[in-house]
């Protein structure tokens, strides 16, 4: 019911302001917003559909029936829109978007300012703590990480682990820790303010992101920005930029055994500190605010058919005013 109400409200706002807008950008859950998409097409305005995540792949792990419905909505919107933005070319196959390849452009909203993420202590002086930061949900590989912890603890009792986040699996994970007597090596902090997360990231020896599906994720950029080594599942923007063993580390599949084996490999790498510094440089070169804006601007002007200035509109509120009466309105 909430899903339908959101679509009706969005459709009303779109229809009410549609004549003032030259280009619509569908974001966050835009892949499922079929009714607003239809109205946008009726109004004759171009539409850019940005995939912040894959609803289909996320639901496939928890609710296959809903995943089927999400697949139908997503396919309809991909067919109706003019351009599709994904964070990495690797996601075209991973998210089953190949049939719309001619519409797809690599563009995303992610950026990071390294002034907000000063590098932490050098890797060699940090405590031997491996971290997981994110929603404790199936698609994030949270339980797989915890099961890998049990394997690693058996091999290396001195290794410590820190889990930050909350979600559907928290109770199950706490029970697993108690059942396997991992209280002495695992610290579960639950949800903490984002400003505090930064401090934890720069104290980790390694951050593991064992997600089954990702578009980014932001936590990976933040870790690399703070010169914390990253082990991440293949797929998504960050994994697409990583050269394994050079500026980060790639995980083929997020099974407990594979995660444990890769963590041991990474922690045993004598070049770990150099890899961490290379990861920070990677973020600086590829995820600046200016570079992110340029990528989006290229796609927007491709749809609008030329250069000029842009005025951003969100619902009834104008967010940025260009001062140019000929500026294109983008919502």
Q: Which residues contact 318 (CB under 8 A, 6 or more apart)?
A: 311, 312
Q: Give the per-residue pLDDT at 54.
A: 84
What is the pLDDT confidence band of residue 236, given thresholds at 50, 70 and 90?
low
Q: Give the per-residue pLDDT at 319.
A: 37
Architecture of domain 114-286: 3-Layer(aba) Sandwich (3.40)
| Region class of 44: left (phi > 0), else alpha (psi between -120 and 50), else beta | left
**Fold that domain 2-111+288-330 belongs to in CATH:** Rossmann fold (3.40.50)
The alpha-carbon radius of gyration of the chain (Å, integer) is: 21
Q: What is the mean pLDDT of the chain?
A: 85
Cα–Cα distance measured from residue 268 to residue 245, given in angstroms and rounded to the nearest whole number? 12
Query: Comparing 32-46, 54-68, 281-295, 303-317, which segment has the lowest mean pLDDT?
Result: 303-317
Q: Give the per-residue pLDDT at 163.
A: 97
* Distance from the Cα of residue 117 to its chain's centroid: 18
Cα–Cα distance measured from residue 70 to residue 78, given in angstroms and rounded to the nearest whole number? 12
H, E, C per residue of the chain: CHHHHHHHHHHHHHHHHHHHCCEEEECCCHHHCHHHHHHHHHCCCCEEEECCCCHHHHHHCCCHHHHHHHHHHHHHHHHHCCEEEECCCCHHHHCCCHHHHHHEEECCCCCCCHHHCCCCCCHHHCCCEEEEECCCCHHHCHHHHHHHHHHHHHHCCCCEEEEECCCCCHHHHHHHHHHCCCCCCEEEEECCCHHHHHHHHCCCCEEEECCCCCCCCHHHHHHHHCCCCEEEECCHHHHHHCCECCCEEEECCCCHHHHHHHHHHHHCCCCHHHHHHHHHHHHHHHCCHHHHHHHHHHHHHHHHCCCCCEEEEECCEEEECCCCCCCEEEC
Domain 2-111+288-330 shares a fold with domain 114-286: yes
Burial (0-12, 13-18, 19+ Cβ within 10 Å), 269: middle
Q: Where are the domains of the chain?
A: 2-111+288-330, 114-286
- How much is the average pLDDT of 309-314? 49
| Contact between 170 and 190 (Cβ < 8 Å) | yes
pLDDT in tens, 154-190: 999 999 999 999 999 999 999 999 999 999 999 999 9
What is the pLDDT confidence band of residue 119, given thresholds at 50, 70 and 90?
confident
The closest alpha carbon to 161, from 181, 182, 140, belongs to 182
- How much is the average pLDDT of 35-63? 86
* Residue 328 clears pLDDT 60, i.e. is over it: no
Distances (CA, A) of 287 to 251, 272, 309: 22, 22, 23
């Amino acid at each position: 019911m909430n899903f339908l109400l959101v679509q009706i409200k969005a459709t009303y706002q779109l229809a009410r302001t549609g004549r003032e807008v030259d280009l619509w950008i569908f974001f966050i859950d835009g892949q499922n917003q079929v009714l607003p998409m239809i109205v946008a097409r009726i109004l004759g305005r171009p539409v850019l559909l940005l995939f912040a995540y894959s609803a289909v792949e996320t639901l496939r792990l928890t609710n296959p029936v809903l995943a089927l419905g999400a697949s139908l909505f997503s396919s309809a919107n991909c067919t109706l829109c003019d351009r599709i933005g994904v964070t990495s070319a690797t996601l075209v196959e991973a998210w089953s978007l190949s049939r719309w390849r001619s519409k797809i452009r690599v563009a995303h909203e992610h950026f990071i300012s390294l002034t907000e993420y000063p590098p932490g202590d050098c890797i060699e002086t940090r405590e031997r703590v491996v971290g997981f930061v994110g929603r404790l949900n199936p698609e994030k590989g949270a339980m797989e990480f915890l099961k890998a912890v049990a394997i690693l603890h058996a091999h290396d009792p001195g290794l410590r682990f820190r889990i930050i986040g909350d979600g559907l699996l928290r109770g199950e994970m706490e029970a697993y820790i108690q059942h396997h007597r991992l209280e002495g090596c695992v610290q579960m902090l639950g949800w903490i303010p984002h400003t505090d997360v930064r401090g934890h990231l720069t104290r980790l020896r390694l951050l593991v992101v064992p997600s089954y599906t990702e578009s980014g994720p932001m936590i990976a950029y933040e870790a690399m920005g703070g010169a914390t080594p990253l082990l991440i599942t293949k797929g998504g923007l960050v994994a697409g930029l990583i050269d394994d063993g050079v500026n980060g580390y790639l995980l083929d599949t997020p099974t407990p055994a594979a995660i444990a084996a890769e963590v041991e490999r990474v922690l045993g790498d004598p070049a770990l500190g150099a890899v961490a510094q290379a990861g920070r440089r990677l973020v600086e070169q590829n995820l600046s605010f200016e570079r992110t804006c340029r990528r989006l601007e290229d796609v927007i002007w491709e749809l609008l058919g030329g250069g000029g200035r842009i005025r951003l509109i969100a619902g009834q509120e104008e967010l940025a005013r260009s001062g140019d009466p000929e500026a294109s309105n983008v919502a």
